[in-house]
Structure 1
């Protein structure tokens, strides 16, 4: 396994250590990170939607307009969005790899704006459902490109923090939606739910306007035969325009040679993740991360907090909306704070501690719910609310940010877009099932449904212990060593023996081709 130790105050590139970079002191890096905020908005859009649905289902005006939807219909409100996302996934990598990361974000945003217009103008249940299908379709395309651009553009020292922050901004959107629906609850007509729906278009409008100021991924430029543009981007963002900077040159050579080796090996298809031991290990992590991130009990609160709170006697819409709003603020604080520890503590310890904590909290949550059901004592209901906050503290220690941060970094460039589709497909499948089943289960068996998650979390903890490995303090291209060992396809100074052989073959092939062309010219 590759060495992940780094001297404090340094970062690694190609096995060499360099002094830390203060991004706020460098104009170009500071500007690039500011612009990446508009890329991050993709995740915030997703969070806005989840909280908005929660809020709308608490609004009497919305429920009356939609003829008081039952548990299964409530599930369809959210679930149809994830079905739309699932159907968009097969084309997502072709947009991100073919047209570029920025075009993927832009196309997804355009579709989302169309969906928001349809949703805001809905005159019946069917129209609202159709709009949410297209919303999911657009989110999937943007979501399949945004984290790739972030992880491929960031300075190697800041990559882990920035890619982990990406998914935690889900809560920024969630907070805005939670408090906006709380405010519009005082509007006594249909605008109480149409206003939050209209505001949902704002992040997508900002992305379409600003994403073109963000540099394209240098790795994508190299994959398209434009190495000069890639070097220019790396130099501009990572070294204030100095293309001769040592870190930039090491990065450039490693990226260029690694992508060339991957192309030579022809490891770009959908089935490549099934073919080698290292790729199968990656696939297990991708699928499990997508599943665990949604099947850990968090779906009960993310989309159906009203049903959970109804079950412990908190039925006032204002009170439910305040709890939802405060919970999302707490979630954002915890999730964002933990992003700055992923390279200090490590991915594996965070995943283990987070999952173990969730399991303990959910057991206590279940016991308190049973006690309230049996006694109707208000203190037991209050204890459930406290356990929800503690549970999310544990969840956000790892699963919120590292869902994307960890999965995107373990994939080689040639499989990154397709591999993330596997992960997002599992997320959508889990959400589609959860959002449709959760309200039905809560209606019929109430707190007893929580027992399922208590058992499931124990199984999750076991799986994480045996399959999740550490990747901290490792440059993006070199993470392959953790999974493939000596078979890792890496170029540059960090190349493995197999990588060097393939690199030599590529060079020999190029020399032979050039010699042949010269001979033909002479003839």
Structure 2
């Protein structure tokens, strides 16, 4: 997809014409309630963020180090990577649960598994038990992390969909904050509870989801796909139209969703795993999704996320209290930056923010590498302080849009499967990072940073040529950017004659009629 293709996407969605300008989240109790349920889904990301920060903190705790006999680089790699290895075992099943039994039950199943696993983790009597619990956490997290972001995107009030879905990725840092400050607080406990308390608290978001998930509305898109049109219309009317089923916005959304799902299922045959790569439009989607998923973990962020203590050791900041304090402050900074970026997603646009993030990470990580090298070679204390400064600046440049962008460019029948591929790619990238990073840092220190500097250049080039603008579009309208006129050829190529095709086009144009009225 060439650069010229992106400009055609930068248009306002037709849905803006039927949005009531007086209906804001802060003056509408039903939207407030809906956003409250969405927060319950967003904390799924907190569980994941908690893990990375907790493992950073535990590695700085003498109590944890002593109990597990000071694990070496390869053992640390396994302890960090095992959660993602557990996630791999769940990937074949997650999309079938999300599409088969619904988004809510899938989140519930994941939360139950994670609650059990964190209890085992906190009660671990050996390294093997600790590793097994972390494997089970990854298994349960895969189910919740597959369904929760899709449900957020599919039930959000249209005006706030992009910001809320983008917040999912940003709230990774909320869990990281809790973990960082919990380990900082338990550091003074002269017993195994110094690491058992943080290990058990990882299950808190899952407990909340178990208790409250059945109050969250199910996805109208899931319900329509199962022939439950009345239930879908009722949910759209209650939360998006103040209970009015004839509200223009409700009717617009209902007709657009129904038409799009019918089109993908009956005309484009856009369903099964093969469909992810069967058409040119879908191949464009998957090329972007796989790339940004890999980029999200292979941009140098995996170093500070899981091995901050090793980095601080290498610049001669070895005091455990100082390390835990830096970890805690860094997570708060990252959360604030991520939420600010999420709030601007529809103002600045996806393409601008992707490019700004790529260039920002390249500049700050390269600067961090230079400062790291200066300390390693010359031992300058100022260089060590510069490394920390650029760690914070790098966090400010990190892109929170990968989840919202992935969800919105996938049509409904492929959303669960495509998002599963996205999460699988992240896990594979993480497993590689978590095994390789501690070993590489131990052996070649700052020279390992140069690999990521070079890779960030590749990322920027890819983002410049392939990221398509999708701001101010509905989930259904985004499909036209990738399929466009080519979809017509695909339809005719599937055996429909011209008359049947014209009839289908008229069906799809019903959405336009709703817009005009």
Partner of 1:271: 274
TM-score, normalization: structure 1?
A: 0.91
Mapped contact 1:261–1:503 kept (Cα < 8 A):
no
User: Does 187-196 or 110-119 show the bigger shift?
Assistant: 110-119
Taking a change above 3 Å as real, the CA distance of residues 121 and 503 of structure 1, as seen in their structure-2 partners, is: farther
Q: Distance in 2 between matches of 1:426 and 1:502?
A: 37
Residue in structure 2 matching 1:4, options 10, 22, 36: 10
- Contact 1:488/1:498 (8 A) holds in 2: no
Task: Return closer, same or farther for 1:225/1:61 CA change in 2, 3 Å cut-off.
Answer: same
Deviation digits for residues 461-518 of structure 1, max 9, x if unmatched?
01111111100011110101111112459xxxxxxx999955936999xxxxxxxxxx
Contact persistence 1:239–1:248 (CA under 8 A): yes
Alignment CA distance shift 1:480-1:498 (3 Å)? farther
Return closer, same or farther for 1:197/1:498 CA change in 2, 3 Å cut-off.
farther
Question: In terms of mean alpha carbon deviation, does 366-375 or 453-462 score higher?
Answer: 366-375
Q: Is the 8 A contact 1:261 1:499 kept in 2?
A: no
Name the structure 2 match of 1:476. 475
**Is this contact kept in 2: 1:254–1:477, CA < 8 A?**
yes
Matches within 5 A, 1:93-172: 93-172=95-174
| 1:339-378 CA-partner distances (Å, limit 9, x unpaired) | 1111111001101011111111111111111111122121
Residue deviations 1:117-170, cap 9 Å, x none?
111111111111111111001001100000110111011111111110111111
Contact 1:261–1:502 at 8 Å: present in 2 too?
no
Q: Is the 8 A contact 1:352 1:465 kept in 2?
A: yes
User: TM-score normalised to the size of structure 2?
Assistant: 0.92
Map residues 100-499 of structure 1 onto 2, 5 A cutoff: 100-265=102-267, 266-395=269-398, 399=399, 401-488=400-487
Tell me, in whole angstroms, the C-alpha distance in 2 between the residues paired with 1:498 and 1:186. 75
How many residues matched?
Answer: 492
2:446 alignment partner, SS class: helix
Q: Give secondary structure in 1 for the equivalent of 2:185.
A: helix
Distance 1:3 1:291, change over 3 A: closer
For residues 281 and 425 of structure 1, the distance between their equivalents in structure 2, rounded to whole angstroms, comes to 18
Change in 2 beyond 3 A, CA 1:211/1:329: same
- Cα gap change, 1:5 to 1:75, in 2 (>3 Å): same
CA contact (8 A) 2:9 2:468 kept: no
> SS at 2:189's partner residue?
coil
Distance 1:503 1:63, change over 3 A: farther
Q: 1:3 to 1:280 in 2, by over 3 A?
A: closer
C-alpha distance in 1 between matches for 2:457 and 2:222: 40
Residue aligned with 1:470, SS = coil
Q: What CA distance in whole angstroms lies between the structure 1 residues aligned with 2:239 and 2:149?
A: 17
Give distance in 1, aligned partners of 2:80 and 2:42: 22
Instruction: Give the unaligned 5+ runs of structure 2.
Output: 489-495, 508-517
CA distance in 2, matches of 1:505, 1:393: 47
The CA distance in 2 between the partners of 1:307 and 1:99, in whole Å, is: 44
Structure 1 residues 429 and 372 mapped into 2: Cα distance closer, same or farther (>3 Å)?
same
Distance 2:498 2:288 in 1: 24
Describe the SS at the equivalent of 2:344: coil
